[in-house]
Amino acid sequence: MPETTKTLPDRVRELAARCQEVLASHEFRAVAGIAAGLHLARTELGDLVSSTARSGLPLERWRMLAEACEREGIPESRFVPQRFLLLTVGMERLSDVPDLPVVQAVKEKLLEQFHFVCSPDRETDQLLNPTRYGFRAMCRFMLLQRFPAGQIDWEVSGFPRSWVARVPRRHLPAVMRCVLLRAGGRAPWFDAHTGFRRELPILSEEEERKAYRLMAASMRMQPSILGFMGSSWFADPSLARVSPHLAWLSAWYRECVDYGAVWTDIGEAHRDDGFLTGDRKRRRLYEAGQWKPRVGLVLWPRKDVLRWLADNGG
């Protein structure tokens, strides 16, 4: 049956068979035996993936498993134990994908994450190494706690109380009105993140808008979601000055403000946040003390997000 004519349940069944095939291969069966020898039952495997998704810990459990596999001739560079756990946990939830309250395109992109774990094609160290943030994202994909929309991924989260002290005082009244009155509470919100395994290595305005339309359309399907929030150095109001090729981001956030969003910041960005990668000018200005990036914060209440969607192809 051509891929375009297959229903989503058909594709899920085929993917489940592919996952089972991978788990039945020699190396993966060996990892299952090694995990059993370490007294890691299915419940413990699930707990390990869940705790990694939450905090990136405990790394020592991953090291223990990887070292045991290495002793049995399974090289760490193939990330077999990580893939074994991701598929084992993901298989328990894969059949739930067709019924998720998100649009079809997001469900299809979620299935692509399972395909990646079955047959990693690129960025394996970034996405399968337990010491990297990308692996936490993969754990959340398998747990159906993170949702890919292309250039943007999102999770369901809440407005942290600790941010109140970090918002500039002049913006605090608008932020609190937005969160408590206009949106209706601290949680649950869609919390946006730069997408992993996006098709293009560089960010573009067209892909950003596509991703926001998918998020907004999915929000429309979930009445409990209060709004959208995003925090990143990409939302630093001064970014256009140091990276003119990203000036469209500031224009996009101003459009969000025109549709009811609040755009502020929550303090200086940390040098490990990623702004030193990919742009020599940013690095030069930062190291010369001529640019101190801020973590921009965008808060967008539900009714305003849906108003934007209605005006932009929704």
My answer on whether 170 and 134 are in the same domain is no
Would you put residue 156 in left (φ > 0), alpha (ψ -120 to 50) or beta?
beta
My answer on whether 119 and 268 are in the same domain is no
| DSSP string for 193-254 | EEPSS-SSSS--HHHHHHHHHHHHHHHHT-TT--EEEEEEGGG-TTHHHH-GGGHHHHHHHH
My answer on whether 49 and 106 are in the same domain is yes
Domain span at 218: 152-311
CB atoms within 10 A of CB 23: 17
My answer on whether 236 and 261 are in the same domain is yes
Domain boundary among 146, 173, 208: 146
Tens digits of pLDDT across the chain (314 residues)? 455 678 999 999 999 999 999 999 999 999 999 999 998 888 899 999 999 999 887 788 899 999 999 999 999 889 999 999 999 999 999 999 999 999 999 999 999 999 999 999 888 999 999 999 999 999 999 999 999 999 999 999 999 999 999 999 999 999 999 999 999 999 999 999 999 878 777 899 999 999 999 999 999 999 999 999 999 999 999 999 999 999 999 999 999 999 999 999 999 999 888 888 878 889 899 999 999 999 999 999 999 999 999 999 87
Q: How much is the pTM?
A: 0.94
My answer on whether 135 and 193 are in the same domain is no
My answer on whether 159 and 301 are in the same domain is yes
Task: Give the CATH number, domain containing residue 190.
Answer: 3.40.630
My answer on whether 285 and 215 are in the same domain is yes
Domain boundary among 128, 146, 164: 146
Domain boundary among 125, 146, 167: 146
For residue 148, list its beta bridge partners: 153
Q: What is the pLDDT of residues 122-150, one digit of tens each?
A: 889 999 999 999 999 999 999 999 999 99
Instruction: Give me the number of domains the chain comprises.
Output: 2
3-state secondary structure of 111: helix
My answer on whether 302 and 251 are in the same domain is yes
Q: What is the pLDDT of residues 166-206, one digit of tens each?
A: 999 999 999 999 999 999 999 999 999 999 878 777 899 99
Task: Determine the distance from the C-alpha atom of residue 143 to the mean position of all C-alpha atoms in its chain, rounded to a whole number.
Answer: 12
Q: Which residues contact 231 (CB under 8 A, 6 or more apart)?
A: 163, 266, 295, 296, 297, 298
Q: Are the CB atoms for 298 and 236 separated by under 8 Å? A: no
Task: Please give the pLDDT value at position 39.
Answer: 87
My answer on whether 223 and 299 are in the same domain is yes
Closest CA to 147 of 87, 96, 74: 96
Residue 269 per-residue DSSP state: P
Q: What is the pLDDT of residues 266-284, one digit of tens each?
A: 999 998 888 888 788 898 9
My answer on whether 136 and 159 are in the same domain is no
My answer on whether 116 and 199 are in the same domain is no
My answer on whether 87 and 114 are in the same domain is yes
